[in-house]
Chain A
């Protein structure tokens, strides 16, 4: 990218980040709640984007990991654990379970892997619902406290929104670093051509499992924030539909693009709210919008931008070529 473009991008980033911090200050409780939801879902979708978009493994279990995180936080914090401690435990659990769930990925590929993870999602839902001794079953867990961060209580909507936003920022930075690290390059090599990656000496087994485990951990982190956000957890929101919704966020935002999940979660969380003016028809309009978007650009929203930039680059290149050619002709 040119120096000019990079400056433009940096300016855009500052405006967006500043906007996310300043604008919600005078939002009402509902607006803050929805924005917090968006931040939480973005984190979960970023995890799936790593597994799917960068490492090329289709997972339909991300919703189950959000569930594991939410239940972990709900159970532990209602038993007096601080949220940060339960976060630690959830990260460990999700990493191990995600690692184990990645094993089928070594044996089977593509849609078969999606089916295994689909089965896992359904099994987790049944565990959440049936193991009442642990999860309080269908009654759910209520009165989940909101944490104190460095002595600041986050009981009110605005501080809690900042907690979600701050977590999103940390996760984004970690992701940024990961994608640029040798690991990230190995993940992408895996997606583009697993056989070639192996012949280049990349331990495909380890990286596949790693992609699954890290993606799952991000799902868990989202869950840890989800529990104190709604302050109530029951099994129903963590059924297969959540995994499908998260997959949709990744695809619609643009799979394999760093900021795809931000836009995808925006479509999934904010768009239905904007469409609510249509009352009974709002979900219908939402479905139509998603379909139309995917028909227009099957590679998602950032796919449009990518295509646009790509064609601009081609145009610029051909303009240069044309200029050079005319110069050449003039010289002759």
Chain B
């Protein structure tokens, strides 16, 4: 179902689901976003593929967590001193919270990039800037294309025995040769592309675009859920009593009724759409 909804609805829904908790400064909300994002990943991805991503997430988590205390020295609980400045537990936990938030957003955007295919991007942003969208879509195509070309070039060189004897200097020289060859080819390729675009009449008359996307009733439903829930969440977050104080000592907000209600609103609004999609697709 999700892959057939309108691109605008899709974008707003994912932005709401992935980014609303980023403004809350609350580790529980960040964790909730991450969990819902993981569930979203499982609905369209293979189980084993998702599991294979987890070590990468953990690495990101550790890196972002330990990054913060080395640059921000606020907090009362000193772990140790580095170059005369204190490294504190508070800064470390703040880093961990930020890492949770970043990974949560990242997980949601993995799903977004899966559903938001190139034609949808072009449809959404083609009207804003036609040329920009064309360049973006060209570039998006070119990067995997180039990588594939370099790989095949290297394979050919090895097959022909031109890659060197395996020593460090020889392999550097061979890589240089491959790069030079690739550069020549890409210039030639771009000229061919430009020629073929000209011969097909690019820029001769005013451009028209075609898209198969229609705004249907279910789009209105999803859009309504996203916008209303986003409004409720924003109201809840701005009403206060929701943010965590990290410095100089950590003060977690007491989980009041507003907090529980907001968590429920978020869970229901975010999980209902993948759930329907999952059931319908079966």
Does chain A bind chain B?
Answer: no
